[in-house]
A and B are shown apart, each in its own frame.
Chain A
């Protein structure tokens, strides 16, 4: 029974398209995150939500819009995809929004923009 799941696992699309990545956690956590791991392997936080409220928004282009319909879900919608958006995107969750709390990660979504 997967704790943090993401769909799809792979996403290949053309520049200019709009796409969404879904994330669900069944751990009962109140905080969820989106991370981007780029080609240089840097893992950088993009957003975090606590109880459906935005806590962190890390200078991410506004083409990226997170949506949290409830505590268990945090989806990521990306408009007008660009080549530089190609990366692995990880969703994570934790109990509490202090970042020293253990974070549980999903398996990642590899996005390739052609």
Chain B
């Protein structure tokens, strides 16, 4: 039972264009969402997060949008760079659960 879904296993984008990675969730109790990036043979690293009281959070080239009514969030990377090529995981927190629920990840390839 996947509570956090990343339906696109992979995405390919040209350098300089926008990358949009999507994430859907089923549990309306989730109130905090995080994106992690993972390079091969390394552990995930934190990228950006958003609280359910907001609909947008921006950090440099990375912006996360949250649509609570649709239970959907997306990560935008503008402009995309080859170094952004990695697997991106969406994760959700249900407050007092004290654990993150992770999506399966989307592998992003940014082509020069």
Genuine A/B complex = yes
Q: Residues on A close to B: CB < 8 A?
A: 4, 40-45, 48, 55-56, 58, 90, 92, 97-100, 102-108
Contact of A92 among B32, B42, B43, B49 (CB under 8 A): B43
**Known contacts A40-B104, A100-B32: does B41 contact A55 (CB below 8 Å)?**
no
Name A99's contact: one of B43, B44, B93, B105 (CB within 8 Å): B93
Specify the chain A residue showing the minimal Cβ separation from B102: A43
| CB contacts between A and B, total, < 8 Å | 54
* Interchain nearest-CB distance for A102 vs B (Å): 4
CA distance A58 to B45 in the complex (A): 22
12 example contacts (A-B, Cβ-Cβ < 8 A) are as follows A4-B43, A42-B102, A42-B104, A44-B102, A48-B99, A56-B98, A97-B98, A99-B93, A100-B93, A102-B46, A102-B49, A108-B41
A-contact bits for B80-108, CB 8 A (1 contact / 0 none): 00000000010001000111101011000
A56 to B99, CA, bound (A): 8
Chain A residues positioned under 8 Å from B46 (CB to CB): 102-104
Find out whether the CB atom of A90 lies under 8 angstroms from the CB atom of B98: no
> Count of chain B residues with Cβ under 8 Å from any Cβ of A?
18
In the bound complex, what is the Cα–Cα distance between A20 and B100 (angstroms)? 25
A99 to B98 CA separation, bound complex (whole angstroms): 5
Whether A45 and B43, one on each chain, are in contact in the complex, defined by CB atoms closer than 8 angstroms, is no
**Complex Cα–Cα for A40 and B26 (A):** 20
Instruction: Report which of B41, B45, B93, B105 forms a contact with A105, defined as CB distance below 8 A.
Output: B45
Cβ-defined contact, B99 with A107, below 8 A: no
Contact between chains at B99 and A99 (CB < 8 Å): yes
- Inter-chain CA distance A108–B41, complex, in Å, is 7
For A105, the chain B residues whose CB sits under 8 A away are 42-45
Q: How distant is the Cα of A99 from the Cα of B30 in the complex, in angstroms? A: 12
Contact B44–A45 (Cβ < 8 Å): no
CA of A102 to CA of B49, assembled, Å: 9
* Closest chain B CB from A96 CB (angstroms): 10
Bound CA–CA A105/B36 (angstroms): 10
A100 touches B43 (CB 8 A): no
Contact A41 B43 (CB under 8 A): no
